[in-house]
Amino acid sequence: MIKIKRTILVTAILISALSCVNKKAGVSVASSEKASSAVLKLPFKMPEVQIPKFKTDTLNIIDFGAVPNTEELCTKAINEAIAKCSESGGGVVVIPSGLWTTGPIKMKSNVNLHTKNGAYISFTSDLSQYKLIESYFEGNKVIRCESPIMGIDLENIAITGEGIFDGNGSQWRPVKIGKMTSNQWDELVKSGGVLSKDGKIWYPSKGAYIGNEERDKLPKIQTIANMEPFKESLRPVMVSFVNCKKLLLDGVTFQNSPAWNVNPLMCEHLTLRNLTIRNPWYSQNGDGLDIESCRIGTVTNCRFDVGDDAICIKSGKDKEGRERAKPTELFVITDCVVYHAHGGFVIGSEMSGGVRNIFVKNLTFNGTDCGLRFKSVRGRGGVVENIWMEDIRMNNIPTDAINFNLYYFGKSLSEDKLTGEVTVDKVLVSEETPVFKNMHFKNIYVNGAAQALKIMGIPEMPVENIQFQNMIIRSDVGIQMNYARKIDFKNIDLRLDKPGIAVSFSNSQNINIESIKAKGENQMFWVGGATTKDISLKTDGKKMVLDKDVKVLESIKDEVKLIE
């Protein structure tokens, strides 16, 4: 029964993906990238992104014994063609139209793996094909299974065309009961697998269950040999490139990954364009694109519909990330669309190596859980700075249009239900203190969100020097800020669907609201917090009355200026 259902699902995914994938194939001319960068007028000096070039020599996987439209593995044929191409000085390896079943594909330098229209590459459900290796996940060195597509220490590589790569993620991923209807859950349980002790999580195998639910049974000092019995729990990212230079991904679809979908790590000169990246909405760790500790690149005209964050910028986790000291920097991300995802554009929470000089423009989020998402926690360390975001459109956002959360995975906070105020004890600043500063938001348009903007900084290191300009936001709740400093608002239009406070902030300093208007609120401003000071408030065409339109904590009234 389950095999039939999975076949139907694969067919549906195939039809859907083919309908939306861009019809570009092969390697594009580098001059178009130069023209695009020139038009943008970037606020920082951006090196020219080096795009790989390839010889015209072409090899076809059929000539190496690959057989389409069967369950016969093509692993050997594909990898032999790639190796032969690389050894001969490089060129193009073609995967023709057809259904191809394969184990891990191992890329080599100077090879363009080109997929024809109608090529559907399905990675095998036989998990014995994926060896345990020393790898990375969520910013740290770990033992994981081989990725379906992988490359280490390579240069001048590409995956192009109109084909679809399917990671067969349902063979790897756990599923939470809350993310399915009762009928879907019942069918999943009937298909096999193992339930957690509380019956709320389904695991595809006993090994996956033990590796997640009975961690005390895992070896204290883990090796590839002693972790073999638990390999089903060691889910790989689908597309893994580590320490590579001049990488091009163009036109293809990556979908249904075991964990994160596309994850370049410690790479330089990346060109990612015209991609469709998809995962089931319920997929655990089902991120779309995780750019981690990489330098110099572009992400252009991509489509995301995933189970976790969509476009993620990361740089390692905690002490290991700080010691690696490789920030993600010098990226331009433009013209992308995100459908379902936890966050549309995200920085963190693994940002311990730093993130800087990122320019984001012309993104659309449709039904994405949260729009622009910035997250970390005490212990990470790292500095996120010099981030520009402009021309961002959002529709039907279930939570926050813009969110800063410096308590991710940390202690839950007690918030005032009316004002959103929180009070947190200050700790000493150290290398473990995360820093978010120097960020610019311009031309942000939101048609429906639960909340317009929420900033949850930490008292020892407030979110600092953030500029918001030209924003029109329709939401239930307006703007709430805690532990923020040097925040400027200019030309803000809030349209609240539920009566409440338009703008509230506490324990914040140097807040300047130059021009703001609101509709639907029953109170314009609330200002609280014992450490709040230097507040300047100006509305468009509305005279404000203290204690009516503006309510201020008595002890800090002298810190608030109302400007006509």
3-state secondary structure 421-488: CCCCCCCCCCCCCCEEEEEEEEEEEEEEEEEEEEEECECCECEEEEEEEEEEEEECEEEEEECEEEEE
- pTM summary value: 0.92
What are the C-alpha distances in Å from 371 to residues 235, 368, 375?
27, 6, 13
Q: How is residue 288 written in tokens?
A: 């779309």
Which residues on neighbouring strands pair with residue 70, listed in sequence order? none
Annotation says 391 is catalytic = no
Candidate list 114, 269, 340, 342, residue with the active-site label: 342
* Mean pLDDT computed over 429-439: 98
539, with CB counted inside 10 A (0-12, 13-18, 19+), is buried
User: How many residues does the structure list for the chain?
Assistant: 564
At 411 the pLDDT is 66
User: Is beta strand 201-203 parallel, antiparallel or unpaired with respect to 194-195?
Assistant: antiparallel
Residues 6 or more apart whose CB falls under 8 angstroms from that of 3 comprise none
At 4 the pLDDT is 33
Tens digits of residue pLDDT in 504-522: 999 999 999 999 999 999 9
Residues 6 or more apart whose CB falls under 8 angstroms from that of 392 comprise 345, 360, 362, 363, 364, 365, 371, 372, 441, 443, 444, 445
What are the DSSP calls for 205-255, one per residue? SHHHHHHHH-GGGS-SS--TTTTGGGGGG-PPPSEEEES-EEEEEES-EEE
User: Is beta strand 533-539 parallel, antiparallel or unpaired with respect to 509-519?
Assistant: parallel
Annotation says 308 is catalytic = yes
Tens digits of residue pLDDT in 467-503: 999 999 999 999 999 999 999 999 999 999 999 999 9
Candidate list 250, 287, 305, 308, residue with the active-site label: 308
Structural domain boundaries of the chain?
A: 58-173+235-353, 367-563
Tens digits of residue pLDDT in 328-350: 999 999 999 999 999 999 999 99
- The closest alpha carbon to 379, from 322, 314, 456, belongs to 322
Enter the CATH code of domain 58-173+235-353.
2.160.20.10
Mean pLDDT estimate for the chain:
92
494 neighbors 502 (Cβ within 8 angstroms): yes
Q: How confident is the model at residue 540 (pLDDT cuts 50, 70, 90)?
A: confident
* Mean pLDDT computed over 383-411: 95
Distance CA 357, CA 302 (A): 21
